[in-house]
Structure 1
Amino acid sequence: MARSPNQKRKLLCLCQLLWERTDEEHPLTVQELIDALEGMDIHAERKSIYDDMETLRTFGLDVQSRKGKAPGWFLGERPFELPELKLLVDAVQACRFITRRKSDALIRKLESLSSVHQARQLQRQVYVAGRVKAMNESVYYTIDKLHTALNARRAVTFKYFEYNMRKEKVFRRDGKRYAVSPYGLIWDNENYYLAGFDHARREMRHYRVDKMAELAVTCLPLQGDEACRNFDIASYSQKHFGMFSGREGQVRLRCRSHLVGVVLDRFGQEAILIPDGEDRFTVTVSAVVSPQFLGWIFGLGDGVEVCSPAWAVDELNAQLQAVQRLYRKEESL
C-alpha cells in the first residue's frame, strides 16, 4: 500500500494523542488510536502502532500499555503530577498580584500539562469565591523585568502610585521617577515587594510591585553600602510585619505558653524561648515596630507583653491611647 502524504505526521500525532487524551485512568486502545489517526487523515495499521509506541518510548516518553478490563496505551509519568498541578493552580488563583485575566491564562497553560480528563479536576480546583485580585495588569511583566535587573545587577527606575477614592492612580513625588538598586523580591502578605537601595533617600526601602508603573532597567550599576551588598532578604521580610516600615530593634516579649506555636510560626524555629514562671516564656526578636507589628501584638490580647526596649513600650501605649481617644470621641457624640 502506498504511503499517504500525512505519514510523516503520524508519530507526532500519536504523541499528541497520548499527551492530551490519556492518563492511567483513561487509556486508548490500538483501535481507538487508529480511528483517531484516521480522523486526522493518517492511515495506520495495528503493527505500525506497536512499532511507533516503542519509538516514542525510546525517545524518552513514559508510554505504557495495560491489559485486562481497561486495556490500552497511556502516558504515565509527566513533568508534573496531578497533585503538583493542583497546588500550582491554587497558588496562581490565590496570588493577589496577578490579575484575573492573567490568572486565567496561566491556569489554562497549566491545564495543558495534563490530560483533558485531569484538566477537569484542575478546573474544579480553580474556583475560589471572592478572591481579591490586583488591578494592575502590567505587574506580571514588571516582575520579569525586575528579575532581569537582579540578574544583571543593574538599577531600575519607575513611577510609584497609590489609588484615590475614585480608584484613580495618584503618583507619588509628583510623578518623578524613582531610582532604585534592586537587591531582592519578597512575596509577603499576598503581594510582591521589591527591596532595594533608594538613590534619593540613600537607604534600603521596599515597594509594592503592583504599584509600579513604567519600570525600566537601566545600564547603571547597583548602589549601596556594605550592608546592602550583604543584604539578607529572609531576615528583612521577617522583621517587617506586612512590609510596613518603622523603627527597628531587639524586642523582648513575654508570652503565655499556649502561644509557642504562634511565636515559632512568625519568627522561625531559631527563636530562643526562655521559660518564665509556670505558664509563660520570654523571647527576644528582631522586629520593625510598625503599626502592623503592634496590631499583631494587640491581636494576641493579654497573651503577649512587650517588655523592652522602652521606646517600643511607649509606641505601644501611644497606639493604644490613640485608639481609645477615637472611641471616647464617638461615645461623646
Structure 2
Amino acid sequence: MSGLLYDRTDKILYKCIAKGVIKMPKGANQKLKLYYLMKIMLEKTDDDHSITMPEILAELERYEVTAERRSIYADLQTLDRMGVEIIGEPVGKTYHYHVGSRQFELAELKLLVDAIQSSKFITAKKSNELIRKLEGMCSEYEAKKLQRQVYVSGRIKTMNESIYYNVDSIHNAIAENRKILFQYYQWNIKKEMELRREGTYYHISPWGLCWDDENYYLVGYDAEDQIIKHYRVDKMLRIKMSDEQREGKEHFHQFDIAAYTRKNFAMYGGKEERVKLLMDNSLAGVVIDRFGKDISLIPADEERFTVSVDVAVSRQFVGWLFALGKGAEIIGPDKVVRQVREEIRRLAEQYEVK
C-alpha cells in the first residue's frame, strides 16, 4: 500500500492524545471500527472514486465510531494485509484513498447480471434478489451502472420458485448416489399447472444437469424404459431422495452432456442418426456455432460444403434446417430424407398448399 503518511499536524495531534492532553470520546461501536472502515472503503471508493482522511473519519462517525488519524493509517494497512487492496495517492497536499482490485471486476459483474436476466429458469423475484446481492460486491457508484442494465420485469421467466431447491436436491442425490422421486407438470389451456401421468411419481437416476435454450434440464436414467431421458427442472415438483442406489452407470461412463445437448434440438428427443448435410459456404459459422469446431467441413464445390453430424432427428431439427433456407439440405441417410419429405407433405396439407 502506498501513501499511508500523515502530516505534521497529525503528529502533534497524536502526541497530545497519547499524553492525555486531548481526550478522544469512544463511540458505541468502537470494537467494530475495522469492520466499518472496510465497509466504507468498499462501498464509497473504486478506481474512479477516492476518499480523504477527514471523509473517512466523518463516515466512521455515522457508525458511532471515533478514531484518530494514526489508528486509521494502521487499520488501512491491516485491511491491505487482509486482502482488501488499499491505494493511497497524493492529490495536492492531501492523500486520497480507494480500494484497488476486487474479487469481481465491474465487467465480470455485468456478465453475471446479463446471465441472470436472460435465464428463463430464474424467476423475476429471484433475479432481482440475486442482482441486488451482486450490487453489494462493488461500490455504490458501480452499483448504479449495474442497475441501469436491469430489465427483468419484461423477460419471460419461470413461475416455479422452488427451482433453486430442486437444483440443490438433485446435486445432493448425485453426491449421495441415490435415485430421486418427483412429480412433473405441464400447463393446460386454462393456464393451470397440470400433473403429468395423473400425478404418479417419476423414479429417475440423476446423472447431471445442463443448461440449454435458457432452461435447466436434469439428465438421468429411466430404469423402467432403460433409456437416458431429460426433464425441465422448473417443471419438477416435490423432489425426494430415494433409498435406492442410482442405475445406468454403464450409460454414463463416457457420457458427454454437452454433446447430448448439441444433438437434441431445443432438448426435444428423437432417434439419433448420423446425418449428412450439404450447406452453402455462408452457413459455415451457423454449423460451427451449433456443433463446434471439431467437425469436418468438406468442400463439395466452390460454393458449398458437406458435413456429417450426430443429431436426434425430430421436428425441431427439421425446423432448424428449414429456417436456414435453400442453402441447407439433408442428403443422407435416405430414411432421414424421407422423414423430411413426410414433414413437408404434412405441412402442405395443414396449410392447404396446392
TM-score interval for Structure 1 and Structure 2 normalised by the shorter chain: over 0.9
Quick one: distance in 1 between partners of 2:101 and 2:257? 36
2:77 aligned residue: 54
1:195 aligned residue: 219
Q: Which has the higher mean CA deviation after the structures are superposed, 140-149 or 241-250?
A: 140-149
1:132 aligned residue: 156
Query: 1:79-101, CA deviations, whole angstroms, 9 ceiling, x for partnerless residues?
Result: 10000000001100110000000
Runs of 4+ in 1 over 3 A off after TM superposition: none
Task: Say if 2:258 is the partner of 1:234.
Answer: yes
Match of 1:286 among 307, 310, 325: 310
* 1:180 match: secondary structure: strand
* 2:51 match: secondary structure: coil
Q: Which has the higher mean CA deviation after the structures are superposed, 28-37 or 56-65?
A: 56-65
* 2:186 match: secondary structure: strand
Amino acid at match of 1:186: C
Change (3 A) 1:128 1:168: closer
The number of equivalent residue pairs is 330
1:8 aligned residue: 31
Task: Say if 2:285 is the partner of 1:261.
Answer: yes
Query: 1:150-197, CA deviations, whole angstroms, 9 ceiling, x for partnerless residues?
Result: 222221110001000111111111100001111111100110111100
Quick one: distance in 2 between partners of 1:129 and 1:322? 39
1:23 aligned residue: 46
1:65 aligned residue: 88
Change (3 A) 1:3 1:59: farther
Quick one: distance in 1 between partners of 2:233 and 2:192? 17
Instruction: Give the CA deviation at 1:129.
Output: 6.9
Query: 1:229-264, CA deviations, whole angstroms, 9 ceiling, x for partnerless residues?
Result: 332111111110110011111000111111111111
* 1:67 match: secondary structure: strand
Task: Say if 2:105 is the partner of 1:81.
Answer: yes
- Any conservation in 2 of the 1:253–1:282 contact (CA below 8 Å)? yes
1:110 aligned residue: 134
Q: Which has the higher mean CA deviation after the structures are superposed, 259-268 or 146-155?
A: 146-155
- Any conservation in 2 of the 1:156–1:217 contact (CA below 8 Å)? yes
Match of 1:40 among 53, 63, 66: 63
Output the aligned Cα RMSD.
Answer: 1.6
- Any conservation in 2 of the 1:27–1:71 contact (CA below 8 Å)? no
Quick one: distance in 2 between partners of 1:44 and 1:228? 62
Change (3 A) 1:78 1:166: same
Instruction: Give the CA deviation at 1:3.
Output: 6.1
Q: How high is the TM-score relative to the length of structure 2?
A: 0.89
Query: 1:285-321, CA deviations, whole angstroms, 9 ceiling, x for partnerless residues?
Result: 0001111100011001111111111111111111111
1:300 aligned residue: 324
Instruction: Give the CA deviation at 1:60.
Output: 2.1
Q: How high is the TM-score relative to the length of structure 1?
A: 0.95
Quick one: distance in 1 between partners of 2:241 and 2:190? 31
Quick one: distance in 1 between partners of 2:113 and 2:259? 29
Amino acid at match of 2:207: Y
Q: Which has the higher mean CA deviation after the structures are superposed, 293-302 or 62-71?
A: 62-71
* 2:161 match: secondary structure: coil
The answer for unaligned runs of 5 or more in structure 1 is none
Change (3 A) 1:128 1:106: closer
Amino acid at match of 1:292: Q
Amino acid at match of 2:280: R
1:157 aligned residue: 181
Task: Say if 2:191 is the partner of 1:167.
Answer: yes
Quick one: distance in 1 between partners of 2:179 and 2:117? 31
- Any conservation in 1 of the 2:123–2:161 contact (CA below 8 Å)? yes
Amino acid at match of 2:232: R
Quick one: distance in 1 between partners of 2:121 and 2:204? 21
- Any conservation in 2 of the 1:27–1:74 contact (CA below 8 Å)? yes
Instruction: Give the CA deviation at 1:76.
Output: 1.1
- Any conservation in 2 of the 1:257–1:279 contact (CA below 8 Å)? yes
